[in-house]
Amino acid sequence: MLMKKKSSLEWSMVEASLSWQLGNNKDLGGLKNVLLLSFNDLPYNLKYCFLYCSLFPEDCLITQRRLIRLWVAQGFIQERRGQTLEEVAADYIKDLVCRGMLQRVESSILIRKKVRMLDVLRELAISIGHEENFCYINDGKEETLNRKARHLSMSNSVVNIGPSNCHLRSLMLFKIEISSLSLRGILSSFKLLRVLDLEHSPIESLPDELVELFNLRYLSLSNTNVEELPKSIGRLQNLQTLDIRKSKINILPKGVEKLQKLRHIFTYLYTVSSVGNLNYIKFAQTPTGICNLMCLQTLEVIAANNEIV
């Protein structure tokens, strides 16, 4: 009710003030305890799902479909008879929203559903995540890298990571500039990595070490400058999600046919030319054998040859 009585700007000011008070006013320790009780009341799997949301930058609007695929990749979702893992994950989001742990963002029907995490709850999640070695958030506020963290998010600058971080399960870069050489050094140590999310990072090529990530479930190159996927991508036998939307990849290599656990492929490219008011969009070409992937649920906006159609 309070939110309805205030404009979004006023509510943001209240939220920012409350965040500061929680960190600086000892008299508000009771409120911290209330928030902690809300977290402790979550079922086991929902706790991990909630903490994982803190990997996204402050005030980030998180697309529900993206969040669902990430949770599935990390194995946070328990199987239910008669439902896909994605459907169960959607129920998890509804539960977190009902509990007030996530906020659903109102949008039109044409815009994909999104959620966000209130700053005070994100700070709580980051605090718990650090204590439990669950995550490390490099957003310019933390100075020391937690070498035991299992999930790493960078939205300010690239931190020095190497062999001592070999237990990482997630690496998420948000608009971070990183060279292929630097990425090669990072990936060579992360054999347990399940999620590699480079969305909006201006990287131009992928190191050969990528195909050595046997445990990789989720690969996003969306909005990057990457021009091609490794020909041996078929070695990523556990890959579930491949997202190359708005990258510069125009051909899916034949090795994609070998990804028997692939559940979701998202691909369309940038505008390559225009005449007057007409824009020409180029789509990624796909090998014929992709239609034999038995686990495939989503094949979004892709150019197909006659044999597939």
> Using one digit for the tens of pLDDT, what is the confidence trace for 121-130?
999 999 999 9
As a whole number, mean pLDDT of residues 58-87 equals 95
Supply angle C-alpha 137, 128, 77, rounded to 5: 85
> pLDDT value at position 2?
36
* Helical packing angle, 119-131 and 44-53, nearest 10°: 110
As a whole number, mean pLDDT of residues 131-152 equals 80
> pLDDT value at position 163?
66
pTM over 0.85? The answer is: no
Say yes or no to pLDDT of 273 above 90.
Answer: no
> pLDDT value at position 158?
67
Is residue 49 within 8 Å of residue 133, measured between CB atoms? no
Angstrom distance (rounded) from CA 229 to CA 72: 23
> In this predicted model, what pLDDT tens digit does every residue of 17-55 receive, in sequence order?
555 555 565 555 566 777 888 899 999 999 999 999 999
* Helical packing angle, 44-53 and 64-74, nearest 10°: 120
> pLDDT value at position 298?
81
Is residue 140 within 8 Å of residue 158, measured between CB atoms? no
Say yes or no to pLDDT of 85 above 90.
Answer: yes
Looking at the chain, how many residues does it have?
309
> pLDDT value at position 42?
94
Look at 301 and 43; give whichever has higher pLDDT.
Answer: 43
> pLDDT value at position 1?
31
Say yes or no to pLDDT of 227 above 50.
Answer: yes
Say yes or no to pLDDT of 232 above 90.
Answer: yes
> pLDDT value at position 278?
46
> pLDDT value at position 119?
87
CB count in 10 Å sphere of residue 213? 21
Say yes or no to pLDDT of 308 above 50.
Answer: no
> In this predicted model, what pLDDT tens digit does every residue of 144-174 receive, in sequence order?
677 788 999 988 766 667 666 778 999 999 8
Could you tell me the domains of the chain? 12-118 (1.10.10.10), 133-309 (3.80.10.10)
CA nearest 53: which of 158, 172, 165? 172
* Helical packing angle, 29-40 and 119-131, nearest 10°: 70
> pLDDT value at position 146?
73
Tell me the range of 3-17, 155-169, 234-248, 277-291 where mean pLDDT is highest. Answer: 234-248
Q: Average pLDDT of the chain?
A: 81
